[in-house]
Amino acid sequence: RHFVRQGHALTLFLPDLGERPPLEGFQVVYVPVLSRRSGITFFSFYFFLFFYFLFHYVRVRPHAVYTRHQQMEGCVTWLKYVLGFVYVNEVNGLSTVELRINRKPGWVIGATRCLERITFRMADLLVTPSEKIRDALCRDYGIDPSRFLVVSNGADPELLQPLNPEQCRRELNLDPHLKYLVFVGSFKRWHGISKIVDVFPQILERRPDCRLLLVGDGEDKPAIESIIRDKSLEGTVLLFGRRPFSEVSRFINAGDICIAPYFDALLNETGISPLKIYEYFACGKPVITSPMGGLESVFERFEVGVLVDSSDPMAWVDAVTGLLNDPERIQILGQNARRTLVEEFSWEKICQTIARRVEQVAGI
């Protein structure tokens, strides 16, 4: 949307999952998939994408092709080799580190590294959300740093805005008089949500009026559900499942504090710039997170939340209860967060930076 506002014609390729929300201002090409089962969906999308993209490329001849790096990026890389278009690859994390976190076998990591070496060296421009990702790619794949653009992730302050917390709680059938911690996002192993749930009884000992709202889904959900059962946390840890983006603002605004826990030290190798943190900022909420992969610079510079500098989940008990006991600080940090998002990390500003660099690379 922001690229279009800046005068760029945009064609977006999306998997055809049955739902086609109205998207105005740019062309959308829905690519068929063979099944809604995750593996088949993934591979069939990239199989058909190869032909759909080739057909549209021949018709339109775009100035640049912008992709978000995925495991099947090779299909675009091969077309780049044949057709010679300007190829921009956005890399939001290090696949090899994620594979190590998930304890994948060495041959999978080695094969991934070989494929990524080809992809990254073929790209005309690599966009990363952190200097640590850039530095790791330069080191591991021998890429010239001048071929990178480092630009943070962000959020849209028009779509996500501060709302009345009590009203949002009533709309979600929550008690408006309680205190709420909120997590919105995928339940991946490195997010550490299960560890927060594990120490939530200690938070309840100090603040019986506190509740934990978990909005999302993912691989760690069975472990979270098991802890909730084992520690009798039904009614105090509330699972809302995966929700459409249109509902995200209501859940975030229902909270007093938003959380983004990270406990795996391997994340320090990658640098992280999680979308959820900037979405929390957009809603004017203070954030408690871990000083992983460069996040500390944002929090120290703009005073938008609390950093828990410890691998011990019990340290989160002090951080959460300490901030809940200081409502004035909650308000100040939340105001700082909203202002920081609008002035520093809005998608409009970030897209302007990306567009200028792509124009330079494409010679337009």
Same-domain status, 278 and 174: yes
Show which of 29, 62, 95 is a domain's final residue: 62
Helix extents (H) in the chain: 2-5, 38-60, 74-83, 95-101, 106-122, 131-141, 165-171, 193-206, 221-230, 245-254, 267-270, 275-282, 295-302, 314-324, 327-344, 347-362
Same-domain status, 57 and 75: no
CA distance 103 to 125: 30
Same-domain status, 353 and 336: no
pLDDT score, position 63: 92
Is residue 247 in a domain?
Answer: yes
DSSP-assigned states of every residue in 68-118: E--TTTHHHHHHHHHH---EEEE--S-HHHHHHHTT--HHHHHHHHHHHHH
Mean pLDDT, rounded, for 43-66: 91
pLDDT band of 356, cuts 50, 70, 90: very high
Max Cα distance, the chain (Å)? 64
Q: Which residue's entry shows tokens 């938070």?
A: 203
Show which of 62, 84, 111 is a domain's final residue: 62
Tens of pLDDT, residue by residue over 184-195, are: 999 987 788 999
Same-domain status, 211 and 328: yes
Is residue 246 in a domain?
Answer: yes
Is residue 103 in a domain?
Answer: yes
Is residue 172 in a domain?
Answer: yes
Same-domain status, 178 and 284: yes
What is the pLDDT of the chain when averaged over all its residues?
A: 91
Same-domain status, 39 and 169: no
Mean pLDDT, rounded, for 241-253: 94
Same-domain status, 297 and 171: yes
Per the model's pLDDT, the better-predicted residue between 6 and 217 turns out to be: 217
Is residue 160 in a domain?
Answer: no
**What are the tokens at 360?**
């330079």
Show which of 41, 62, 83 is a domain's final residue: 62
Same-domain status, 199 and 325: yes
Q: What is the pTM of this model?
A: 0.88
Mean pLDDT, rounded, for 347-360: 95
Per the model's pLDDT, the better-predicted residue between 336 and 84 turns out to be: 336
Is pLDDT of 89 > 90? yes
Same-domain status, 219 and 287: yes
Neighbouring-strand partners of residue 76: none
Same-domain status, 233 and 90: no
Per the model's pLDDT, the better-predicted residue between 7 and 343 turns out to be: 343
Is residue 252 in a domain?
Answer: yes
Same-domain status, 37 and 99: no
Is residue 159 in a domain?
Answer: no
pLDDT score, position 193: 93
Domain that holds residue 4: 1-62
Q: Domain with 294 in it: what CATH number?
A: 3.40.50.2000
Is residue 149 in a domain?
Answer: yes
Count of domains observed in the chain: 3
SS3 363: coil
Is pLDDT of 217 > 80? yes
Same-domain status, 212 and 304: yes
Q: Which of 15, 61, 69 is nearest to 40 (CA)?
A: 15
pLDDT band of 270, cuts 50, 70, 90: low
